Amino acid sequence: MPLLTREKRRMVCLHEAGHAVVAALGGASVYSVEVAPEGRTNWVIPGRKRGGPTDLWGVCRTSELGIALIALRWNHESSDFQIDREVLTAYMVALKQAGSEVPSEARRAIRAYVCQCLAGSMAEMISENETHVTVEPREHCPHDDATIARACCRMLPSRNEWDHLNRITEIVLREHWGFVVKLADALQATELLKEGIGDYLPPPIKNWPPSPRSKRKDRATDLQPS
């Protein structure tokens, strides 16, 4: 991997902070954010199974979406994810038995996870003063955040989920940009931010993110779920 310069490390800090802030807004638990030391050419992520160098310079650890991600199946022939509908249905049934509001809450959780995935790359774009940002998946890359996010959108009922979630992720990031910068600054000064990380994160937005059928407004925090 190329040398992790000071400038690149700053961008990684913003990337992971973007993930963390949007995860918190969507109601996920954020456990820690971590970035490699400046000057490295590879990095071993502590706690990752089988250890060893990776192609990542940072990591944001949050509560997972759960069994819904197990419904994703990478197809090597098409170089894309497919959805195992039986597993996804079982996930919905299990939530219903636990007393959750299904399917609306399960779908909201999937949307929140998609926004969390998109937020890292979007934070980088916003930091470079791009006026409008949208994230596109990397081809043939099963570990790419946007590729996973795009696949998760296919678990949702509306055809315009992808464009909708790109749009509201950008809105909510810009509205909470102060949190992103504050968290990135703290991470840049260290390598691991775990204790007290909640002090750098915004409170969750109730019922966020909304579905594409919700009434459109200018502020993401004003959008109400259908």
Complete domains list, the chain, with CATH: 6-196 (1.20.58)
pLDDT of 218 reads 42
How many other C-beta atoms are found inside a 10 Å radius of the C-beta of residue 133?
19
pLDDT of 101 reads 59
In percent, how much of the chain has pLDDT > 90? 61
Q: Measure the CA angle with vertex 88, ends 82 and 94; round to 5°.
A: 165
Which tens digits make up the pLDDT trace of 135-154?
A: 999 888 888 999 999 999 99
CA distances from 66 to 141, 183, 185 (A): 21, 26, 30
Here the tokens at position 64 are 């997972």
Detail the DSSP E strand segments found in 57-189.
Answer: 58-62, 72-75, 80-83
pLDDT of 225 reads 35
Pairing of strands 30-35, 53-54: unpaired
Residue 66 is given by DSSP the state -
Residue 46 has pLDDT above 70, yes or no: no
Here the tokens at position 194 are 């775990």
